[in-house]
Amino acid sequence: MKRTLIPIIACLSALPFAALAGDAPNAAHVVLKAKNAYFGRAATDNDMAILDDHPELIYVNISGPDSWNPSQPRNTPMPITDAGIAHVAKCPKLAFFHLSHTQPLAVTDDGLKHLANLTELREFTAGLTQFSDAGIANLAPHVHLRILELDLQSKITDDAMNTVATMT
């Protein structure tokens, strides 16, 4: 039995500490297919780190493919924050970025700053986030942005439309 345990222990000691500590992305929370990434409702900031290794992605969706169990999904936030959104910046070819419309995200105006260098961004949709007019101003440099859908945004006022008007 000792002979079988030694190689297993040796393999475990070769793993990065983050993987042992549970900080590695959970494959059950994300689906990568072609140049697309789909993050499920249980995805976390740590799961978003998988984007760091996939700069070729053109589509990222944070809202499913899995369905939710709570009877009131709007009362069950997804555990993705500005720190998770920072990983999106590692995908310079990203053209389509969709945030949940069914469950709230703890992504703020600061999270939108991470999108600044995504010069290929053509479509951005978000629902149930904490964006304000200042956050929308972070999207102004995106000259290729053709679809901007901001659903259920309680902190955005008519003033944000001045920014949107400059984006054409």
HSE-CB of 131 using CA atoms within 13 angstroms: 24
In whole angstroms, what is the distance from residue 168 CA to residue 166 CA? 6
pTM confidence score: 0.79
In whole angstroms, what is the distance from residue 103 CA to residue 114 CA? 21
Cβ(89)–Cβ(54) below 8 Å: no
In whole angstroms, what is the distance from residue 68 CA to residue 43 CA? 12
Counting as low any pLDDT under 50, the low residues of the chain are 1-21, 65
Annotate the chain with DSSP letters as a single string.
-HHHHHHHHHHHHHS-HHHHHT-SPPGGGEEEETTEEEE-TT--HHHHGGGGG-TT--EEEES-SSPP-SS-GGGS-EEEEHHHHGGGGG-TT--EEEE-SSS-EE--HHHHHTTTT-TT--EEEEES----HHHHHTTTT-TT--EEEEES-TT--TTHHHHHHTT-
Note the pLDDT tens digit of each residue in 50-70.
999 999 999 999 975 455 555
Q: What is the pLDDT of residue 68?
A: 52
Q: What is the pLDDT of residue 145?
A: 92
In whole angstroms, what is the distance from residue 71 CA to residue 79 CA? 18
Q: What is the pLDDT of residue 60?
A: 97
In whole angstroms, what is the distance from residue 150 CA to residue 139 CA? 12
Q: What is the pLDDT of residue 13?
A: 35
Cβ(43)–Cβ(78) below 8 Å: yes
Q: What is the pLDDT of residue 81?
A: 92
Q: What is the pLDDT of residue 28?
A: 83
